[in-house]
Chains A and B, each alone.
Chain A
Amino acid sequence: MKCIIIDDEATARAIIEKLCVSVPSLEVSGVFSSAIDAIKYLNETTVDLILLDIHMPGFSGFDFIKTLKNPPAIIVTTSDKKFALEAFEYDFIIDYLVKPIEPQRFEKAIRKVEASAPVSTKVQGEKEVASFENDLYVNIDRRLIKIDIPKIYLIEAKGDYINVKTESKNYVVHSTLKKMEQKLPDSLFIKVHRSYIINLKKIIDIEDNSVLIEKDVVPVSRTSRPELMRRLNLL
């Protein structure tokens, strides 16, 4: 698993790098004292994990997160417990480590990252679309039903199920939004809320914190809004 470390404090960088080296599955591909330098690196390199200090003067870890187009897994490292709630608003923040980081606690965080997503999928940055690019097969009542991906306009999380909505039909599937997200092309779909993925092409209009898509009004979370706005062809 390829990772980078971002921390403005040299002592913290040295400790986190040592903790990484102690985990055989981790490969440290970069160590950065500022988030700006890391952004430049990430424009050219894909990583599986970022160990990110949240409290950095000028350009904080949260500012950095907002710049990421396809965020990898992130473990937040900080001396402040108070940022934990905000951190967990982001699906891709897997864990929150308070400094000084205990080695055992660090290993536990890495195991959580490994359990959260298969490495091979993330490194390649490719979506596991089945045999045909536009087709998605879902299991409903022991039948594999084909859905034409571009016709999906909304996927909504409902407990252990997701509701996949197309122009002509709704499909209730036993799966998670995260699994569904991995099957959809980035170019067409965006997660706008922890419970909703929408098809960008199907948007009718956008109001402050919601999107009208077909006949559904979908909430847009505060954290997703900047990415949504960035993806639109704004005049």
Chain B
Amino acid sequence: MEKPNLNYIQKVAAGDKDFEKSMISVLKKEFPVEVETYKKALSKKNLKETAEIVHKIKHKISILGLIKSYESAELFENNLKNNTTDTHKVFEDILENMYQFINKL
């Protein structure tokens, strides 16, 4: 599994450590809420809502430099739009990988 990184955030921060800290704090706050929303939407089999939250999470995947995971998330989003939950396990592994990384920040 790819290893997340903070390269993009550091590039945007351009040395501004306060910004880096505030970005990490936003990620820590927003990401678990999105994961929860994803789980609820999927359990309700509301695939439209699930696709929307996957779309939103995709941005965070790219921010953390997860190139292959982003492609997998995109595939999963398209699957949901085509009314199938195929590859949801792959997506959930990505979420877990991100969760572990963000939690240690």
Cβ–Cβ contact A103 & B12, under 8 A: yes
Q: Closest residue to A58 on the B side, CB-wise?
A: B52
Query: Contact: A11 with B26, CB < 8 Å?
Result: yes
B55 & A55 in contact (Cβ 8 Å cutoff): yes
A8 CB within 8 Å of chain B: yes
B59 near A99 (CB under 8 angstroms)? yes
CB of B29 closer than 8 Å to a CB of A:
yes
Number of interface residues of A (CB under 8 A): 18
Instruction: Please give me the residue from chain A that is nearest to B62 by CB atom.
Output: A100
Of the residues A18, A22, A100, contact of B63 by C-beta under 8 Å: A100
Are the CB atoms of B62 and A8 closer together than 8 Å? no
**Partner pick for A10 among B19, B29, B52, B63, CB 8 A cutoff:** B29
Distance to closest chain B CB from A60 (angstroms): 11
Bound CA span A22–B16, Å: 11
B14 interface hit (Cβ, 8 Å): yes
Whole-angstrom distance from the CB of A103 to the nearest CB of chain B? 6
A11 and B59 in contact, given A103-B12, A103-B14 (Cβ under 8 angstroms): yes
Residue positions of B touching A, CB distance < 8 A = 8-9, 11-14, 16, 19, 22-23, 26-27, 29-30, 49, 52, 55-56, 58-60, 62-63
- Which A residues fall within an 8 A CB radius of B? 8-12, 14-15, 18-19, 22, 55, 57, 79-80, 99-100, 102-103
